[in-house]
Structure formats: structure tokens, C-alpha cells
Amino acid sequence: MPRLTNGLGVQVEDTHICVVMVGLPARGKSYIAQKAQRYLQWLSVPAATFNVGNYRRKDAAQPTADFFDTNNAAGERTRRAAAEAAVADMMKWFKSGGVVGILDATNSTKERRRWVLETCQKEGIETIFVESKCDDEELIMANIRDVKTTSPDYQGQDPEEAAQDFRNRIRNYEKIYVSIDEDGDESEMTYLKMMNVGRQVIINRIQDYLESRIVYYLMNLHIRPRSVWLSRHGESMYNLDGRIGGDAQLSPRGEQYALKLPELVRKSVGDDRPLTVWTSTLKRTIATARHLPKHYNQLQWKALDELDSGVCDGMTYQEIKDYYPDDFRARDEDKYNYRYRGGESYRDVVIRLEPIIMELERSEDILIVTHQAVLRCIYAYFMKKDQEKSPWMHVPLHTLIKLTPRAYGTEEVRYPAGIDAVSTWRGKGSTAKHEDPVPEVI
């Protein structure tokens, strides 16, 4: 059987990369690590994060700032043991097929970095150091308030005292912290150094394609507040017939949704902020977006077109079962990987959506009007849905979904338009034209 390429279109099974986070506390290292992990997993690249703090908490659950003073020998030993345990687990994980392991710790001294580098080299694992530097005091304080005072390290403690203790912890790290290659003797290392959330970026010795994708992705991240709105097109004439694919017009109820969408968007945005609207190149999404305010910038993306159902385009699920019973069964067995004859799989759709995700990460407020399968893939990226489940998600017609990225997750609000539409959700094995959705699917 030919090996499947992952979302990046390359064979990565034989690649092992350790992404070593570097930086003082509250510089967004864990944030960057979990974003990178999600991006890679979404692209089917096996990725995992090893957070040294989680290992340290097993022995020192709620340490005060002086635990992190390098003159505290007991503290040093515990921290060293936590780093060793995290790296040992990461090495085991690489041996079991892991491709990108992210070591999430401050790694703030040259000695620690050299040790990680040499440990990886012995096992033939590439390393890329990713440093986040930040001297914006306001941002650091906001980070402490947002995520640190609620961390398990300070559970049950007064937030003001927790914030003060965390600042003292940072001071202890500052005493020993050396920025990567600051002294010019780490220039042989592969690294990405980001200053003040990407305002300035230094890239050194990137070695291969996967590393360059990771670097490019990280360079596009920002933390300005924003939301992404997702909507399917209004109900189409094909939806009424239970036919898939095609380039049908909207049904009368689909037209009503198009008329209602500007009001739903206004309600959800809450002010006069202009949005950028992305549609596919198909009639039904363009028609759905056409009553939105004229000052919204609108763009059509071919990459947002519905999953191509190849020879099955225009058929009902019953017709597919009658003409291609083996295909019908195969799709139900592995919906994510099944590729329609002459068409696409969900995996293929994710590959073509990669530039969309990249652009979304760079952008601020965007409204995307697209199709059932494509919306599932974009939603899965933000909401961390796995590949088993995402192709079966229930995404109703005539509903606006607002996603707002937060420090460690994404918030979701749904705005139903209150306009009836058929259900295009189909359960495993079913050939029903319009099936009642099973709500717990998502």
C-alpha cells in the first residue's frame, strides 16, 4: 500500500525534530508550544509537548519564588530531575513514532541547551530552539494575570500575592538567563528568536522543509484580540434533494438566510467593526454573502470550495450506495481518509486548507462562508477535534458560529438564524436524504 503523505505533502515518518522552547516565564512559551502542536497534529504530523513544569509539580506542587533561586540546591536538584524525566519520556515517544516533540521549559542557560542538544544528537534527533523574548512590561503583567495566577502553582491563593510571587520567580530566572546565541557561541544551533510577539525575528540555520514550515507558522502567530466567524451557505436546491457537491443556487429558505446574515453578524460582532469576508468560488456561498455591508472586504478562495466528491458529484447518498457499494462502505469505515474516485478525502481538504489556516493566523476578524466538509476541517483546527470525529460533526445550516481564540483554547458561541433548513448530516451507514442529527456528535 502506498504510504500516505501527511498534510504537508511530505513523508515525515523518518524525521524527528525536537522543538526546544527558550525564554523567561510568562513569555508565551506554552502558548506557542500548544499552537505548534495543534497545527502539526491537524496536518497529521505526530506531535506532542513535554512540559517540564508538569513534571516538576509532581515533586513540588506549589513552590514559592525562592524554589527557583539557583542558590537553592534542593530546588535545583528537583528542577533538574524534572527536566531529565521530561526529556526521557520525549525520547521514548520519539522511538514509538513521534515526529515533532516540543520541550516546553525555560531552557534559559547555555548548559541546559547544550545538554538537550547533545541528548538529541545521540539519538539522531534534530533540534530547533524557539525563543520568545519580551520586554513589554504591560504584556508580561497581563500574561501573569491572565494565566499565571490561575495556574496549578497558585491554586487557592490570593491572585495579588500570586502575581507578586510570580514576578519574584521571573527575577530569579533573570539572574541566570542567557538569550540564545547572545555570546555568539551558539551560532551552530538551529534557532528562531522572536522578540515582542514577532515584531523582530531572527532565524538561524533552518535545515529542512518541516522545520521551515514550523518556523513560518510561528512567525505568523499574533495575540491581538480577534474572532473568526464561520457559516455554511444558505440551504441550496441540492440540499433539498439530498444531493452532494454541485454548484446549485440557494433555495428560497437559503435566500432568507442570506438576507438575515447581516443582522446575525451585527448582533455577534457587537459594534461597527468591519469584517473581511471569505467565500468559496461556488454560487451558494457567494449568494449567501452578497447582502453583507458593501464596505466589508470580500475575497473568493478556491481552497474553500466543498470537498470534491469526484464521480459521486450530484448523487444522493442512496445513489452512491447503489452504484458504488464498496466505496460507500469504505467511506463509512474511514471517512477521514476515504478519497472519492476522482475526488478528495477530508485529509486532502486539510492539505489545501493549510494556506487558509496560515492566513487566518496572520489576520484579525474574518467571516468565512463555506461548506459542510470544509467548515468541519477549519472548526477541527480551532477546537482540537480529532480526525476520527471531525468528518462526522454536526454543523447545522443557517447558523453563525463565532470562535474566539484565548490563551489556551477557543471560545465558541452559536447564533441560529431561526430559519428552518433540511439537515444534511448523515450518520454511519445511513442513506436517509435528511437525517435528524445526533446532537452529541460534536
Draw the binding track, 389-408, toward ligand F6P (x: CB under 6 A; -: no contact).
--x-----------------
How far are the Cα atoms of 87, 111, 189 from residue 118, in angstroms, in the given order? 12, 11, 11
Closest CA to 4 of 335, 292, 347: 347
Q: Looking at beta carbons, which residue is closest to ligand ATP?
A: 28
Which partner, ligand ATP, ligand F6P, none, binds residue 32 by CB below 5 to 8 Å per kind? ligand ATP
Q: Does 65 bind ligand ATP (CB under 6 A)?
A: no
Q: What angle do CA 197, 201, 203 make, to 5 degrees?
A: 135
Q: Does 385 help bind ligand F6P (rule: CB under 6 A)? A: no
| Grid coordinates given for 55 | 513534571
In this structure, what C-alpha cell is assigned to residue 85? 524525566
CA distances from 278 to 275, 354, 367 (A): 10, 15, 6
Assess whether 306 carries a catalytic annotation.
Answer: yes
Match 524525521 to its residue by C-alpha cell.
Answer: 15
Give Cβ neighbours of residue 237 (< 8 Å, ≥ 6 apart).
Answer: 248, 249, 250, 251
- What gap in Å lies between CA 58 and CA 311, rounded to an integer? 56
Per-residue contact flags (x/-) with ligand ATP for residues 161 to 200, judged by CB under 6 A: ---------------------------------x--x---
Using CB under 6 A, which of the segments 51-59, 190-198, 211-219, 302-310 binds ligand F6P?
302-310
Is position 364 annotated as part of the catalytic site? no
Query: Which cell goes with 60?
Result: 513540588
126 included as an active-site residue? no
Nearer to ligand F6P, 108 or 309 (CB): 309
Q: Phi and psi for 284 in degrees, rounded to 5?
A: -70, -30
Which residues inside 396-415 make contact with ligand ATP, applying CB under 6 A? Answer: 407
Do 296 and 272 contact (CB within 8 A), yes or no? Answer: no
Interaction partner, residue 41 (ligand ATP, ligand F6P, none; CB < 5-8 Å by kind): none
Laid out side by side, the sheet with 17-22 consists of 47-51, 100-104, 17-22, 126-133, 191-195, 200-204
The site string for ligand F6P over 414-433 (x = CB under 6 A, - otherwise) reads ----------x-x-------
Task: Give the binding-site size for ligand ATP (rule: CB under 6 A).
Answer: 21
In the list ligand ATP, ligand F6P, none, the entry touching 244 (Cβ below 5 to 8 angstroms by class) is ligand F6P
> By CB under 6 A, is residue 38 in contact with ligand ATP?
no
Would you call 124 exposed, middle or buried from its count of C-beta atoms within 10 A (0-12, 13-18, 19+)? exposed
Piece in contact with ligand ATP (CB under 6 A), picked from 21-29, 89-97, 273-281, 284-292: 21-29
Stretch that binds ligand F6P, among 5-13, 221-229, 256-264, 306-314 (CB under 6 A): 306-314
| Residues engaged in binding ligand ATP (CB under 6 A) | 23, 25-32, 53, 106, 132, 134, 139, 143, 146-147, 194, 197, 223, 407
Instruction: Give the residue ranges of the annotated binding site.
Output: 232-239, 284
Q: Which residues are annotated as a binding site for substrate?
A: 232-239, 284
